[in-house]
A and B are shown apart, each in its own frame.
Chain A
Amino acid sequence: MPENENNDPILAKSYSGALLISSLLLVLSMFWALWQEFIGLRPWRHYQSEFASAYGKFLRSEFNKQKQSSEAVLNSPEYQKLQQAAKSAADAAEPQVKQIDQQVAFLNKRITALSPTFITARGEVTALIYQVEIAPSESSRKSRQDAVEKAKKGPFKVELPTPDGKTEQKSFTYDELLAEFDSLKNQKADLTLKRADVRKAADDAAKAAAAYFQEHLEGLTAEQIKSLQLAVQQMNVSIRQINVNSAGLVDRCQSCHVAMDAKLVPPTLVLTKASFGMEKNKDAPFTSHPQPELMKIHNPEKFGCSPCHGGNGRATNSIIRGHGRNPFWLWPLHHRENVEAGCQNCHASDMYTYYAPVLNQGRQLYRNKGCIGCHRYEGFDNEGEQLLSTRQLVRQLEQQKTDYELEMPRLSREGDKAQDNKTAQWFYAQAENLRVQTSLIDAKLDQMMVRSRSLLREEKKVGPSLKEAKMKLRKEWIYYWLENTHKFRPDTKMPQFRFKPREPRAISAFIWQMAVTGPALEKQPPGSIARGKELFESRGCLACHSIGEGNQKIGGTFAANLSRVGEKDNYDYLVRWIHNPRQRTRPYDPIARKDLGPEDYKKYGKDFIFDLDNSRSPDGKHELQVQQQTVMPSLRLTIEDARDIASYLMTQKHADQEYRATDFMDDPKLLDTGRALVKNYGCAGCHEIATLEEEGRIGTELTNEGSKPIERLDFSLLTEKAKRGVLPDGKPSMRDGEKYAEWYDHKGFFEQKLTKSDIFDQGRFTTQLKMPQPNVSPEEINALTTFLLGSVDLQVPKDYLYKPGDQRRDVQEGWWLVTKYNCMGCHQIAVGQPSSLQSMAMYQAENKFKLPPPLLSEGARVDPNWLARFLENPAMSKTDLNRNGVRSYLAVRMPTFSFSESEIRKIVKFFQAISSQPQPYLPPKMEPLTPQERAMARELFTHPAAPCLKCHATGQPAHDANASAPNFLLAPDRLQPAWTMRWITDPARISPGTAMPSGLFNLVEGRWVFSGPLPPSLKGYPKDHADLLVRYMFTITPEEQRMLLGRTPSGGKPGAK
């Protein structure tokens, strides 16, 4: 080694300092990694331990509270009495039980003594028998059988205990041993049964006491809380997950949202942030599910969390990732206001989803506001599509029939030419088969015709027919309306189109010139305005229509506000419309694609008559559209009533509104431009327009809009603003209290687009978006957004979809119709759903009985066959149409909707389904009345404490003037006896606020007894009084009723008891 080696920098340089520092850094980074691994990436650890302490504290305070209240229950005399009864019953059974127990103990001893020998013997014998079974030869089989016999002989010696406590030695063969063992077991089983019998009374009494305690203690018992406390103490901090293999679902949401674990927080316990004193804490995932009812329907063990709520169920390492709010996660957690979007995943084919009011509102708006006019949505208003496919099927079937008819003679000829009989017969049989086939085709064709007839009736448009514009509307108004839609009628469902200058001129000219002109309307004399107002307000128009502006507005929101109808309508047309809104000026022939006039009928020598009964084309080949495509029903008013109402409506106008002359509307040069524009703007989606009846929808289909890739939603020049959380107006966007929240997502797109339909055209050189400005409030925008957010591709296994095949399907199909025709305008159909009329001033307090009946239990109340007839013809009469068939005393009119057969069927099934009625309905047999019973029933019927006919109508005008309930003569056909029974015993339970008095009968020892002073004849009658009355009601005849009317105190004020 050279002596100056230290000078060599490679050898001399020390790296210890650098090594020390970097090693320290290495250790530090290792600790950092460990921290990250155990705490940083596992925030749920912190939440779980925080929950355990907070919940433990909550349970302690709850325990003290519950202990006091449970002591109160335990010390209550009722509980004491029950406890006493249980104790005495137990005491009574005690000696016998003791004796049985002793016997059982003795038997057990004997069994124990016998068992070892028995088991050994059985093992030996069965093993030898097996050897016999597999014996290779006959001789060896014999010798082995001998071995079995020998083994069975034993003898088996057993020391058996005797009742006196000693033992006896007994010797058994194998078969005896078996028998002894079985007999001991049987004896023991008998004794056990006997013991249960003896103890039954005591057990029942103890159960009754426990049940009483459970019922009278609100919340959890102290024991339950104790066990929960124990569960919390033993709770170990770990990932909690729901794993559903079949659905590919792994949800670890409960790792942070610990309170969702039913083992820790029972469903009966509702935890809010307030329960923990954490109201102010923004980040405390410890509340239990706010809708425990939903959790009962959707077992979390099957449904998990993320299929409904969105989010990334697998992620546990941060709130953002768990909620799926990180970039590129396709299904982020639904925001609070859109949470019901999750329901739509599986409930997409529902019309009405229980517990989801916002979603339901969205669906309803989508139909009612006419979104459906431009945007197809699977399952929504597809009568048009069905009609097309039906027509196509008809064409195919007709073609097939022609083919068969050509084929038949050929086959016969082939048969004639055949060489032998067998072949000939084969051909003849073929021809014969085809003949039968054609008859089957005929049957099918008939069905198709019925179906297409139904569909023609069912197909409705959102807006009114523009074919009648010329007869109905004031010419200048059309132009004004196009430009000032929302100004003229601030709550109209028609959206405001964004026309370019001069476009409205061409459109109004096109509409005006394409409209039909005749046959001319009948000239109508003016009616009484005052009477018209009264009729308008009382007949039920307000269930759908509103009237009055601003604060003065009253009525339903389903149909148009009629405040300024006088400015636009032609009086003669209005009279016809009110008299029968379905009446058309000319029928539409969907095959020839034109409106037929008298001249077309004349060609076939027919009169120009078309209505639902004469709906065939003049050549008799196919169905015509003979009705206006409106859901507005006929109220069956007389022409005088119609005139009065029309006269009243004609007074509804702004007198100072001026309309500019619009002579250009007669300019034929504008026709083609107008047609192109009307097509371009998709007017025919909502309106019936001549020559454009078969136009398709112009908008994009929205069935799966919620899962459209975000890149396909054109944010246009706002893309960057959306990504950076800046609203189009430059203000920061706000979500969940977060400023500058990114809105580059579906929610942001839908909300902005609905708020301002041309927002994404902003700044563009050429505008491309046609969507008009919808007339929706922020709340409605949220409902529609929720609906669209939920409209996604299939994300769950198919069997998760709500597609019930049972009565629940009838319910959904029914809701579709009930909302289509706005039955809820007049009737209450679901619990908690008020009708439009219900909230009106004129139906409050003592005027409640003037309301149309609630239909909550309609399916159980009426005979479905009757209901079908009633829906077909609510007047229940062929001649006198100006009346209500059932409730003649109501001013509100049950209108004629001209339902199609299939609609009637669906509505009837709907009402049966919501009342869980079996289908088909078989009327129950009723026990006939004996003459004595009939006399007794008469007494009851006319009893001064319950004079039925005081309120119920009889059909005699003088009496019915004061009636406030239906005629009894309808009952046998209309009502179901079981419901009637429930009704007369407690009507307020079925229909709160009804004029029918409750408490007419008292339940005495399992039968209903009249509660008024008992008429002498009924004293000692052993049967049910209410049942007697029902049976009588179902046999009442007009003569009988007239006779009874004489006996009844004369009618007083309706509703008075």
Chain B
Amino acid sequence: MWGDWHQLWEIVSVPDNVPIVALLFLVPFYTWYAFREAFKHDRLIAQLEGDAAMAKSHHRKPYPFKTGWDREVHVWPYLMRIEFLAAVILTVLLMVWSITLNAPLEEPANPNLTMNPAKAPWYFLGLQEMLVYFDPWIAGVVMPTLIIIGLMAIPYIDTNPLGNGYYTYRQRKFAIWAFLIGFLALWCTMIVIGTFIRGPGWMWFWPTQTWDHNRLDFAVNRNLHEVFGIQNRWVAMGFGAAVIGLFFAVAGYAMHRLCMATEFSRKIYQRMTLLQIITMHTLLILMFSLPAKMVARLVFRVKYVLVTPWFNI
């Protein structure tokens, strides 16, 4: 049943989902805001670069861009007062929130009768959604570990010295796009899918579709080697490994071309050591493996590419 606004309201109004509803608006807003600032500063940088004297003194940093302005200001009061203001506003928000919305308690736990859909806390819904595309070992252990390792590795593979302390797009295109795809397109989208789209039986319900507990779906998901009619297990494993190897090769090459795209990026790229390059490529390829697998799963109904007795990909 479509057009069921009651259902939509029921999902949206659950106290648990309020952060995600807020996320729907706040994330685009701040993205837009950040880009606005970035472009503003990019124009400023361009202006400063046009002025030879300024360019020299400012090392491509926009602030302080007027002569006579201090190079540094005191923490107190100039930083603290803004932080204090933010703290006050946040406290008001938290108080109003805690008064109006109660902790969303649900039924008592019953191991004989689990809830349907059983959803993780909202910040883990992205991981839970990943379970649809990978086996639990990959989605639950390998991927989260890699995400953490990847985040930790960023300072060591980022050789671009620009863009510290001010908004800029031009100087950090690569980093910004990597962030936008990794955080916005993958992490946030998966949380939104997990919250608003996944209903009983973890089935796909478009917004305003009734979450019918009796709904039955027919879908056949096959492993890739089955699609190609490969029967033998060892052959299948070899085939799967080959496909994944191919994916890595193609993606690695594409990534390389991307890094070599502009003069600026070539310069950065050349500064990196081999270890840095390999780490970055591996992490990014792994990141892109998620959308690749999502497409394979949702569009081509492929369950696993590589099936081994120990793990599946």
A interface residues (Cβ-Cβ under 8 A, vs B): 2-5, 7-8, 10-11, 15, 18-19, 22-23, 25-26, 29-30, 32-33, 36, 328, 330, 709, 711-712, 716-717, 719-720, 724
A711 near B113 (CB under 8 angstroms)? yes
The answer for the CA separation of A36 and B85 in the assembled complex, in Å, is 25
What size tier do the contact residues of chain B reach? 20 to 34
B88 near A23 (CB under 8 angstroms)? yes
B68 near A4 (CB under 8 angstroms)? yes
Complex A-B: 19 CB contacts under 8 Å: A4-B68, A7-B66, A7-B69, A8-B64, A15-B82, A19-B84, A22-B85, A22-B88, A25-B89, A26-B95, A29-B96, A30-B95, A32-B96, A328-B105, A328-B106, A330-B108, A711-B113, A719-B214, A724-B6
A26 near B91 (CB under 8 angstroms)? yes
Interface set, chain B 89-113, CB cutoff 8 A to A:
89, 91-92, 95-96, 99, 105-108, 110, 113
Closest 8 CB pairs of A and B: A328-B107, A29-B95, A22-B88, A2-B68, A8-B69, A25-B92, A709-B113, A4-B68
Interface centre among A29, A30, A724 (most CB of B within 10 A): A29
B107 near A15 (CB under 8 angstroms)? no
Known contacts: A330-B107, A711-B113, A712-B113. The answer to whether A32 contacts B88 by CB under 8 A is no
Residues of B with C-beta under 8 A to A328? 105-108
Known contacts: A11-B73, A328-B107. The answer to whether A22 contacts B92 by CB under 8 A is yes
B88 near A19 (CB under 8 angstroms)? yes
Interface residue B78 (Cβ < 8 Å from any Cβ of A): yes
Interface residue SS majority, chain A = helix
A15 near B108 (CB under 8 angstroms)? no
Report the nearest A residue to B86, measured CB to CB: A22
The answer for the CA separation of A29 and B93 in the assembled complex, in Å, is 9
The answer for the CA separation of A639 and B244 in the assembled complex, in Å, is 96
Cross-chain contact of B95 among A15, A19, A33, A717 (Cβ < 8 A): A33
Residues of B with C-beta under 8 A to A717? 214
Report the nearest B residue to A32, measured CB to CB: B99
Residues of A with C-beta under 8 A to B56? none
Residues of B with C-beta under 8 A to A330? 107-108
Known contacts: A716-B214, A719-B213. The answer to whether A26 contacts B81 by CB under 8 A is no
Residues of B with C-beta under 8 A to A30? 95
Residues of B with C-beta under 8 A to A724? 6
Interface residue B171 (Cβ < 8 Å from any Cβ of A): no
Report the nearest A residue to B107, measured CB to CB: A328
A720 near B89 (CB under 8 angstroms)? no
Report the nearest B residue to A29, measured CB to CB: B95
The answer for the CA separation of A317 and B99 in the assembled complex, in Å, is 13
Interface residue B158 (Cβ < 8 Å from any Cβ of A): no
Interface residue B210 (Cβ < 8 Å from any Cβ of A): yes
The answer for the CA separation of A184 and B236 in the assembled complex, in Å, is 111
The answer for the CA separation of A393 and B96 in the assembled complex, in Å, is 70
The answer for the CA separation of A709 and B213 in the assembled complex, in Å, is 15
CB distance from A332 to the nearest CB of B (A): 13
CB distance from B211 to the nearest CB of A (A): 9
Seed contacts A5-B70, A29-B91; 5 additional CB < 8 Å A-B pairs:
A7-B69, A22-B89, A26-B92, A29-B96, A330-B107
The answer for the CA separation of A886 and B8 in the assembled complex, in Å, is 76
Known contacts: A2-B69, A7-B68, A26-B92. The answer to whether A709 contacts B105 by CB under 8 A is no
Residues of B with C-beta under 8 A to A709? 110, 113
A720 near B210 (CB under 8 angstroms)? yes
Q: What 1/0 mask marks residues of chain B from 277 to 304 whose CB sits below 8 Å from any chain A CB?
A: 0000000000000000000000000000
CB distance from B192 to the nearest CB of A (A): 24
Residues of A with C-beta under 8 A to B70? 2, 5, 8, 11
The answer for the CA separation of A4 and B95 in the assembled complex, in Å, is 42
Residues of B with C-beta under 8 A to A2? 68-70
The answer for the CA separation of A33 and B110 in the assembled complex, in Å, is 35
The answer for the CA separation of A330 and B66 in the assembled complex, in Å, is 68
Interface set, chain B 264-279, CB cutoff 8 A to A:
none
A36 near B69 (CB under 8 angstroms)? no
The answer for the CA separation of A719 and B7 in the assembled complex, in Å, is 13
Interface centre among B66, B78, B116, B214 (most CB of A within 10 A): B214
A15 near B85 (CB under 8 angstroms)? yes
CB distance from A550 to the nearest CB of B (A): 43
Residues of B with C-beta under 8 A to A3? 68
Report the nearest B residue to A30, measured CB to CB: B95
A33 near B69 (CB under 8 angstroms)? no
CB distance from B63 to the nearest CB of A (A): 9
Known contacts: A5-B70, A11-B78, A18-B85. The answer to whether A29 contacts B92 by CB under 8 A is yes
Residues of A with C-beta under 8 A to B84? 19
B68 near A720 (CB under 8 angstroms)? no
Interface centre among A32, A711, A716 (most CB of B within 10 A): A711
The answer for the CA separation of A32 and B81 in the assembled complex, in Å, is 26
Report the nearest A residue to B110, measured CB to CB: A709
CB distance from A708 to the nearest CB of B (A): 10
Interface set, chain B 191-216, CB cutoff 8 A to A:
210, 212-214
Residues of A with C-beta under 8 A to B78? 10-11
Residues of A with C-beta under 8 A to B92? 22, 25-26, 29
Residues of A with C-beta under 8 A to B110? 709
A26 near B88 (CB under 8 angstroms)? yes
Q: What 1/0 mask marks residues of chain B from 52 to 72 whose CB sits below 8 Å from any chain A CB?
A: 000000000000101011100
Residues of A with C-beta under 8 A to B91? 26, 29
B99 near A33 (CB under 8 angstroms)? yes
Residues of B with C-beta under 8 A to A11? 70, 73, 78
The answer for the CA separation of A10 and B82 in the assembled complex, in Å, is 10
Interface set, chain B 214-269, CB cutoff 8 A to A:
214
Residues of A with C-beta under 8 A to B210? 720
The answer for the CA separation of A10 and B73 in the assembled complex, in Å, is 8
The answer for the CA separation of A328 and B103 in the assembled complex, in Å, is 13
The answer for the CA separation of A615 and B92 in the assembled complex, in Å, is 87
A19 near B85 (CB under 8 angstroms)? yes
Residues of A with C-beta under 8 A to B212? 719-720
CB distance from A327 to the nearest CB of B (A): 8
CB distance from A187 to the nearest CB of B (A): 70
The answer for the CA separation of A36 and B102 in the assembled complex, in Å, is 13
CB distance from B186 to the nearest CB of A (A): 33
Report the nearest B residue to A37, measured CB to CB: B99
The answer for the CA separation of A8 and B73 in the assembled complex, in Å, is 10
Residues of A with C-beta under 8 A to B68? 2-5, 7
CB distance from A321 to the nearest CB of B (A): 10
The answer for the CA separation of A7 and B65 in the assembled complex, in Å, is 12
The answer for the CA separation of A4 and B78 in the assembled complex, in Å, is 17
CB distance from B4 to the nearest CB of A (A): 8
The answer for the CA separation of A26 and B93 in the assembled complex, in Å, is 9
Residues of A with C-beta under 8 A to B82? 15
CB distance from A263 to the nearest CB of B (A): 34
Residues of A with C-beta under 8 A to B66? 7-8
CB distance from A594 to the nearest CB of B (A): 43
The answer for the CA separation of A8 and B69 in the assembled complex, in Å, is 6
The answer for the CA separation of A11 and B108 in the assembled complex, in Å, is 56
CB distance from A329 to the nearest CB of B (A): 9
The answer for the CA separation of A2 and B71 in the assembled complex, in Å, is 11
Residues of B with C-beta under 8 A to A716? 214
Report the nearest A residue to B64, measured CB to CB: A8
Interface centre among B78, B88, B108 (most CB of A within 10 A): B88
The answer for the CA separation of A18 and B87 in the assembled complex, in Å, is 12
CB distance from B68 to the nearest CB of A (A): 5
Residues of A with C-beta under 8 A to B214? 716-717, 719
CB distance from A810 to the nearest CB of B (A): 39
The answer for the CA separation of A32 and B106 in the assembled complex, in Å, is 27
Residues of A with C-beta under 8 A to B113? 709, 711-712
B88 near A15 (CB under 8 angstroms)? no
Report the nearest A residue to B4, measured CB to CB: A720
The answer for the CA separation of A330 and B107 in the assembled complex, in Å, is 8
The answer for the CA separation of A717 and B301 in the assembled complex, in Å, is 29
CB distance from B210 to the nearest CB of A (A): 6
Known contacts: A7-B69, A26-B91, A719-B214. The answer to whether A15 contacts B105 by CB under 8 A is no
CB distance from B123 to the nearest CB of A (A): 23
